[in-house]
Structure 1
Amino acid sequence: MSELYEEIGAISEENFCELWTSRTFSMARAAFQVVKDSAEEETRKKITGEEYCYIDYMIDPETGPVGVVRIKSEEVSTPDWEEILGTMAEGVQEFIMSHYRIVWPICETHRSGLHVGYFHGLSVWNCREGATGGHVVKAINPATCLQEGV
């Protein structure tokens, strides 16, 4: 919120909410591209095309003044990059499982499906298997490096 205020200054609540939702939607499209590229590379399955319509947003006065961005059954309403990235990852994962009937992504160590989680503020793929009850496998954004031993 403070970033938006610093960028634009004082504006009406209606305009603020509209800008907030537009920014979230724009970030969601960028995050979707990151996850899509990773998924297509790893699965060799097509994730986009005219037959696929994923991301949309709506503003419903009954649910609040800020709009909601959706991908499949997942929703996000804040312009936080890591939260949006995690939401897009869950939506793409849901699509892959329902459309192709395959599990993505997979922990190579335990051969089980991964789940979105957050580690030190980063969106990550977690495995829930192993002696410790789970571990971080990798960052959702392939450009993000995690420290060894995470």
Structure 2
Amino acid sequence: MSEEVLTWMSEVHDEFGEISGDEFCELWTTRTFSMARSAFEVIQKSVFDETGKRVVGEEFCYVNYFRDPEFGPVGVVRFKSAEVSTPDWVEVLGVVAEGVQEFVMDYYVTVWPACSRHSFGLHVDYFDETAVWKCNGGPEGGHVVRALDPSADRSVVRSSTIDRPPV
């Protein structure tokens, strides 16, 4: 588990003390659901800023949350066809970005995002504990283009080869 999730678990224990498994699962799923909604806002803004296209409406049900009686107290958070299984911001952001990317390609028949250097579609990857868009082109076998979350982009810029001048 990531340091972020372990810290959150420690904070839950500090706040509530010992709680039942049912209560903990409810908190876990509620946090994951909230993070998926926040991640959607970040990625949706990127799509609009870069393409002018909106990722809303009846065509796109972005986050589903349900409880299956067979699995007890654990709720399931799904984004498109992927399940978000941890309240870790980096992982949630990556899953949501892949779902939005799938929607943009299917609904608008548009490759988003694309590498300006190689004109290839980008893929979600993880670099230095950050969710990033990565291009698989080039002689080095690929390069990080930018962070999925613009607020994390500065640290990625300092640590990797990217597609644009450093900020």
User: TM-score, normalized by length of structure 1?
Assistant: 0.91
Asked if 1 retains the 8 angstrom alpha-carbon contact of 2:146 and 2:157, the reply is no
State the secondary structure of the residue aligned to 2:133: strand
Q: CA deviation at 1:59?
A: 3.0
In the alignment, structure 2 segments of 5+ residues that lack a partner are 1-8, 162-167
Q: How many residues align?
A: 150
Question: Does residue 17 of structure 2 align to residue 9 of structure 1?
Answer: yes
Q: CA deviation at 1:74?
A: 1.6
Show the counterpart of 2:142. Answer: 134
Asked if 2 retains the 8 angstrom alpha-carbon contact of 1:66 and 1:77, the reply is no
Show the counterpart of 1:42. Answer: 50
Poorly superposed stretches of 4+, deviation over 6 Å: none
Task: Work out which of the residue numbers 2, 20, 25 in structure 1 matches 2:28.
Answer: 20
Show the counterpart of 1:81. Answer: 89
Task: Kindly provide the CA deviation profile for residues 73-129 of structure 1, in whole angstroms up to 9, marking residues without a partner as x.
Answer: 121111000000101100100110110111000000000000000001100001011
Show the counterpart of 1:147. Answer: 157
Q: For the residues of structure 1 that align with 2:118 and 2:147, how far apart are their CA atoms?
A: 17
In the alignment, structure 1 segments of 5+ residues that lack a partner are none
Which of structures 1 and 2 has the larger relative contact order (alpha carbons within 8 angstroms, sep 6+)?
1
Q: For the residues of structure 2 that align with 1:64 and 1:128, how far apart are their CA atoms?
A: 41
State the secondary structure of the residue aligned to 1:143: helix
* Worse-superposed segment, 42-51 or 63-72: 63-72
User: TM-score, normalized by length of structure 2?
Assistant: 0.82
Task: Kindly provide the CA deviation profile for residues 41-77 of structure 1, in whole angstroms up to 9, marking residues without a partner as x.
Answer: 1111111135532101223355675332111112111
